[in-house]
Amino acid sequence: MDEYKLGSSTTTDEYAYIAKKGLTKRLVGELSASKNEPEWMREERLKALTIYESLTTPEWGADLSELKWDEIHYYLKSVERPYQDWKEVPSDVKRVFDAIGVPEAEREHLSGVTGQYDSEKIYGSLKKSLSTKGVVFLSMDEGLREYPEIVKKYWGSVVPAGDNKLAALNTAVWSGGSFVYVPRGVEVKLPLQAYFRINAENAGQFERTMIVVEEGASVNYVEGCSAPAYSSASLHSAVVEVIVKKGAKCRYTTVQNWYKNVYNLVTKRAEVGEKGRMEWVDCNIGSCVTMKYPACLLKGEGSSGSMLSIAVAGSEQQQDTGAKMYHLAPNTSSEIISKSISKNGGRASYRGLVMISPNAAGAKSKVVCDALILDPESRSDTYPTNRVMTNDAQLEHEAYASKVSEEETEYLMSRGMTEGEAQTMIVRGFLGEVIDELPMEYAVELNRLVKLEMEGSVG
């Protein structure tokens, strides 16, 4: 297998289309027209653009002042049509996918795979046994074409365009992303995997994902992200809407390893029905700035939500991550586990909200935030917000920040480990079992990245 190099990119010379830098009404209109979208979607986009222009850039979280919005290409089309046969995929693109185990992994461990380069999907497949049961795994564009009623029914129902400036931006210029539909009672046991790559310089990637899990069904969706090394910034701003019906279950795992020039500003939210369960597993290693707080709207009685968040903030990185749990019905439960590591001047913040509404009697929530700080230049902050509006609720909150003591490093060095190897071991110990929650190939990848980050950074 080729060594997967973070920094490598493939040429954009043969791209089907690259929009001029900057965002205009004309671009939005042309984008919609080129995709032959229904009129309602064109209107959604234009409405969202107006909202986007009326909202201010958030100032409460990470620092976005360096982001040059006008320097971004808002749409880049790498290929005319997605490939369905792996043999047809161009060889330079293939090498990147091969290196990270797509679609090798597909053959054994996955139910389906899609790959997106910049704005458009380039490859996709789904196991036949699932498609015959009515499971759908397509790009969002294909979803809109082939299942317009479903898309229209749920579009913006969980994340409205006006939710925040970045959600509005995504709604205006979205392209690609995944559309997943799991019919009633169908269990998709092996993961569906999507792989997103920003390939071009100054690229904007605005994928839009919708996952609908019907009553009693279940699905496990995994996405990985990467980008090559460029000196100028790229922007990734996705919106993800998940609809988990009565008794259904969804696990959504992200392993984000954008290059350190990418602003990663993402809105992810799930609506959970009676006795349904939503699990977010969110692992952020790359990007220069990430702002991401996946949410669960626990609307059905007895529904539950969980978040497992892992963030690594290195030199010149801000990982501003967390979760939001809205308890909107009785006997709902939620759990947030956040583990962050900051080093070499990096900054990791946990920002979270637990809201328990007046009609959520019997609600339970537990939040645990662990931060590991590797050196005095690095920083970790916790911004938890709890709003409890009923007397009949249980809420636990624990937060720990620990520094790697010289004694720990010294002890391991006295056993023959270099300083970097010692820090790798301490960090892996800190992450502990949470790594086991990741899909196997990503756990291996995360271990490798931790090793690379720790051992590459100590002099």
Chain contacts with another protein (rule: CB under 8 A):
405-408, 410-419, 421-422, 425-426, 428-432
- Minimum CB distance to another protein, residue 402 (Å): 8
Phi and psi angles of residue 129, each rounded to the nearest 5 degrees, phi first: -60, -25
- Minimum CB distance to another protein, residue 436 (Å): 12
Q: Which is nearer to another protein, 7 or 459 (CB)?
A: 459
Partners of 251 in beta bridges: 220, 279
The contacts of residue 72 (CB under 8 Å, 6+ apart) are 21, 22, 23, 202, 203, 204, 233, 234, 235
- Minimum CB distance to another protein, residue 427 (Å): 9
What is the b/e burial string over 61-96, where b = at least 16 CB atoms within 10 angstroms of the residue's CB? bbebeebebeebbbbbbbbeebbeebeebeeebbbb
- Minimum CB distance to another protein, residue 406 (Å): 6
Q: Give the span between the Cα atoms of 148 and 232, in whole angstroms.
A: 37
- Minimum CB distance to another protein, residue 418 (Å): 5
C-beta separation of 312 from 283 below 8 A: no
Helix axes of 419-431 and 406-413: crossing angle, nearest 10 degrees: 120
Q: Give the span between the Cα atoms of 398 and 413, in whole angstroms.
A: 32
Q: Give the span between the Cα atoms of 25 and 75, in whole angstroms.
A: 13
Q: Give the span between the Cα atoms of 327 and 365, in whole angstroms.
A: 9
Q: Which is nearer to another protein, 105 or 404 (CB)?
A: 404
Q: Which is nearer to another protein, 270 or 425 (CB)?
A: 425
Q: Which is nearer to another protein, 205 or 309 (CB)?
A: 309
Q: Which is nearer to another protein, 238 or 434 (CB)?
A: 434
In the block, which residue shows the tokens 């916790």? 382
- Minimum CB distance to another protein, residue 6 (Å): 25
Q: Which is nearer to another protein, 157 or 418 (CB)?
A: 418
